Amino acid sequence: MPTCIDMAPTPEYINYIRFSPVWQMRRIQALDRAGWVCETLGCGGIEGLEVQHIAYDRLGSEQPEDMVVVCRDCREEAFDRILENRPSWVDRMDSAMG
Ligand SMILES: [Zn+2]
């Protein structure tokens, strides 16, 4: 299983994203966690939200921190910026979990 995010998606990955009910569930959970807004710091956009993998190591058994919710605009931004902004939601998640 490739773990590098720069690699082209494998057929397994595409199948997983398209057809797996498990992924659909995780996707909704990620969106719920984000409150259905973009998680990029200072954005708060709600258009064209997508759940994007930050890490692929646990593909199929993702942890919340492996994913980030981004809006259409932010998805087009450099991925680096999304990663840079990640602490904002990590903090939020920690406090939500108490
Ligand atoms: Zn955004």
User: What is the whole-number distance in angstroms between the Cα of residue 7 and the centre of ligand 1?
Assistant: 24
Domain-located, residue 5:
no
Residue 35 CA, ligand 1 centroid: distance in Å: 13
Residue 1 resides in a domain = no
| Residue 65 within a domain | yes
Domain for residue 3, yes or no? no
Q: Which domain holds residue 79?
A: 11-97
Q: What is the pLDDT of residues 33-66, one digit of tens each?
A: 999 999 988 889 999 999 988 888 888 888 888 8
Q: How many domains does the chain have?
A: 1
Residue 77 has pLDDT above 80, yes or no: no
Residue 2, domain member (yes or no): no
**Cα(5) to centroid(ligand 1), Å:** 20
Residue 6 lies in a domain: no
Write down the pLDDT at residue 2. Answer: 44
- Which amino acid is residue 27, in one-letter code? R
Amino acid sitting at position 1? M
Where do runs of H (alpha helix) occur along 48-86? 72-75, 79-84
Which amino acid is located at 79 in the chain? F
- State the distance from the centre of ligand 1 to the C-alpha of 82, rounded, in angstroms: 9
